[in-house]
Copies of this chain bind each other. A is one copy, B any other.
């Protein structure tokens, strides 16, 4: 008998570099230890799933003055970019990405504007169904 996979379900509301890294590092660590990962992108998070979005992510107002320094440090560390982390998670076969449909309407985002890594356009019901059955639930 196989043990049921542990499951992480997170809402990604934030669209800033620091919070997206937090989401993607957690997500890729989770897939690396065999967890199923469900990331539901809404609001500013959803906006960053449009083509070129992840590449434009910066720090929030409170930490804006540290943005260049952080980006330089990440390069020096040869740390994977957000998009690389996303692709790595996808390659595991354990990640599913959801784009929040009401947010898409609010921000005039069309399906063809989204990066191809998005698996499904869905409303909050989809997240709640997943999260009700998950081991770890977070809002980022």
Contacts and interface: CB of A to CB of B under 8 A. Distances in A.
* Copies of this protein chain in the complex: 3
Contacts of A18: 13, 43-44
Interface string A87-106: 00000000000000010011
A16 interface: yes
A121 interface: no
Nearest to A42: B22
A53 interface: no
A6 interface: yes
A129 to B, nearest CB: 8
A37 to B, nearest CB: 10
The interface centre, meaning the residue of A11, A125, A136 with most chain B CB atoms within 10 A of its CB, is A136
Contacts of A135: 131-133
A77 B103 CA distance: 11
A44 B29 contact: no
Interface of A: 6, 8-11, 13, 16, 18-19, 21-22, 25-26, 29-30, 32-33, 35, 42-44, 60-63, 70, 73-74, 77, 79, 102, 105-106, 123-125, 127-129, 131-140
